[in-house]
Amino acid sequence: MKLKVIIFLSFVSIQIKAQLIPNSFEYKNLNSTFQISNSPLSNSITDIVTQGDTIWLATSKGLSRSTDKGISWKNFYGDSVFQTESISAIAILGKTIWVATAHSEKINSDYLPVGSGLKFSIDGGASWNKISQPIDTLNVDTLKYGNNKIRALGITTLINNITYDIAISNSTVWIASFAGMARKSSDNGKTWQRVILPPDNLNSISPSNILNFDLSPTKGGLGLSENLNHRVFSVHAQSENIIWFGTAGGINKSVDGGISWTKYTFNNQVQSISGNFVVAINSNKKNKSVWAVTINALDPLEDRGISFTNDSGKTWQKTLLGNFAHNIGFMDSIIYVPTDNGIYRSLDAINWYSPGFIQNPESNQKYTSTKFYSAATVNNEVFIGGNDGLISTSDSKTNPFGLNWKFFRASPILKTEQSTFSYPNPFSPNYEVVRLRYSINSGNNSVTIRIFDFGMNLVTTLIQNATRVSSSSNFLRDEIWNGKTETGNLVANGIYFYQIIINNNQTLWGKILVIQ
């Protein structure tokens, strides 16, 4: 499940069912029963946050943490705190960690994202507090803003009320919750206040202004005025007072702790952002520049790409135009941008380098997808996540990344040298590949792999007498099947068998379940 990208597929009005239900609230301190493993539990990595030598992953199977650069992992999943939810957002400040959880539900014929709450820890993840997703009790509220009374749509449902980003300042946690709009809490989630952002027709607001608008991402059938700038996707706390929110209507900046706001859009500046749909914001601590993933929204002249400012938003520069990016990471002055077309790296935001095909020749592991969602760094190593697992490589100004790739993939353990397994299993050829894991002898080996259907009819021969060489430290190999026949057609749903012949004297068998 790729919760990060569900909302990017279309730009239609959200439908929020207005109903009067009590405000649910849960606030518990719980000890999470984490699992220790040699890999994360999921190969769908939606976000990465690093702090010192510690790596935190937001995945489709909970939260994962490594304190030794990926050698071992603690996976928070399947317990009373995290249950079996996906992580849709994560933020860290010191020992304080906030995460948002979510899942998808089938509503009529569509699968829609559902926010299932927030969890936070103030002791580095040793214990956790569990909070329900913020919702409102009334269909329409009246909020005081200076001498103004702002009508606000009450969000009384969890559907589309999903937190896609979190930021932490010293005294406040900020959340970007799409249908739930921008909210903040100064008491560790016991109470939440809505953050009042400018409407579509105003470029700035302050409590001293005389104002008349509705705080509403949709009309909702209640006579409210719809504002794209109230559909919130991203948030970044550059400091205690400087807060940035990205919406479907532009970038919003506050320099007074979230009270007054200035809005930057494709339309209201000469040197503007590339597009008004802002899905991620980050800042480079080295030079205090601010970077945003800015996607084309409604204006046909808008473009997708990266927009950045070196003067706090007065002017914006654009780069990587035409690319659908998902986030921005930094290693001092090196910039990393994960996109649908690969991972990019630059020193000057003008010249970009992508490593192209990613493979570890020693283990034969390959990254089969071009789609990446996240990038973060630990010392001189960059960690990159997408829908085909987590990878890392060393990098520096003089030696561009991509020379030696490490793979951190969720997979079972090979029980014996004479065993094999396939993963993920079941798998869907429309979205992924299946990997066949086995071990080989020392030195050169000849390997043949064939796929058969349930009736033992040959479907395809993956490799025929191919040479596979083991190193002194790695005897494991992965081979890839894309779910296609010898003629290039996708196979039907069902059970398939694979045969591995090693050096013409060892035969292994395994089973694959195809579900599309």
Residues 161 and 306 reside in one and the same domain: yes
In a domain, 124, yes or no: no
Give the C-alpha separation, 271 to 282, whole Å: 19
Whether 296 and 248 have beta carbons less than 8 Å apart is answered as no
Whether 13 has a pLDDT exceeding 50, the answer reads no
Residues 314 and 425 reside in one and the same domain: no
What's the pLDDT score for residue 2?
37
Whether 11 has a pLDDT exceeding 60, the answer reads no
In a domain, 435, yes or no: yes
What's the pLDDT score for residue 345?
96
What's the pLDDT score for residue 30?
54
Q: How many CA atoms lie within 13 A of 315 on its CB side?
A: 4
- Domain end (from 322, 353, 372): 322
In a domain, 316, yes or no: yes
Q: How many CA atoms lie within 13 A of 336 on its CB side?
A: 27
Give tens-digit pLDDT for 173-195. 999 998 999 999 999 999 999 99
- Domain end (from 322, 355, 370): 322
Give tens-digit pLDDT for 21-31. 223 333 444 55
What residues pair up with 106 in beta bridges, in sequence order?
Answer: 111
**Residue 161 belongs to a domain with what CATH number?**
2.130.10.10
How far is residue 289 CA from its own chain's centroid?
22
In a domain, 29, yes or no: no
What's the pLDDT score for residue 334?
95
Whether 145 and 204 have beta carbons less than 8 Å apart is answered as no
Give tens-digit pLDDT for 33-59. 566 677 888 889 999 999 989 999 999
What's the pLDDT score for residue 100?
97
What's the pLDDT score for residue 73?
92
Torsion on CA atoms 50, 279, 293, 170, rounded to nearest 10: -50
Q: Where are the beta strands (DSSP E) in 94-196?
A: 96-107, 110-121, 128-131, 140-145, 148-153, 165-168, 173-176, 182-185, 193-194
Give the C-alpha separation, 326 to 281, whole Å: 10
Q: Which of 352, 355, 298, 299 is nearest to 323 (CA)?
A: 352
Whether 364 and 480 have beta carbons less than 8 Å apart is answered as no
Amino acid identity for residue 66 in this structure: S
What's the pLDDT score for residue 239?
95
Q: Which of 371, 267, 384 is nearest to 324 (CA)?
A: 371
| SS3 label, residue 135 | coil
In a domain, 498, yes or no: yes
Q: Provide the number of structural domains found in the chain.
A: 2
Torsion on CA atoms 365, 371, 377, 382, rounded to nearest 10: 40
- Domain end (from 270, 304, 322): 322
Residues 311 and 434 reside in one and the same domain: no
Residues 305 and 184 reside in one and the same domain: yes
Give the C-alpha separation, 443 to 475, whole Å: 9
Whether 219 has a pLDDT exceeding 70, the answer reads yes
Give every CB contact of residue 450 below 8 A, 6+ residues apart in sequence.
458, 459, 460, 461, 462, 498, 499
Whether 15 has a pLDDT exceeding 50, the answer reads no
In a domain, 182, yes or no: yes
Whether 10 has a pLDDT exceeding 60, the answer reads no
Give every CB contact of residue 314 below 8 A, 6+ residues apart in sequence.
none
Residues 283 and 149 reside in one and the same domain: yes
Whether 360 has a pLDDT exceeding 50, the answer reads yes
Give the C-alpha separation, 405 to 384, whole Å: 10
What's the pLDDT score for residue 149?
96
Please state which of the ranges 40-54, 376-390, 425-439 shows the lowest mean pLDDT. 425-439
Its domain, for residue 314, covers 136-322
What is the pLDDT confidence band of residue 17, given thresholds at 50, 70 and 90? very low
In a domain, 456, yes or no: yes
Residues 288 and 155 reside in one and the same domain: yes
Give tens-digit pLDDT for 241-297. 999 999 999 999 999 999 999 999 999 999 999 999 999 999 998 889 999 999 999
Q: Retrieve residue 64's tokens.
A: 């994962």
**Residue 480 belongs to a domain with what CATH number?**
2.60.40.4070
Mean pLDDT of the chain: 89
In a domain, 481, yes or no: yes
Whether 378 has a pLDDT exceeding 90, the answer reads yes
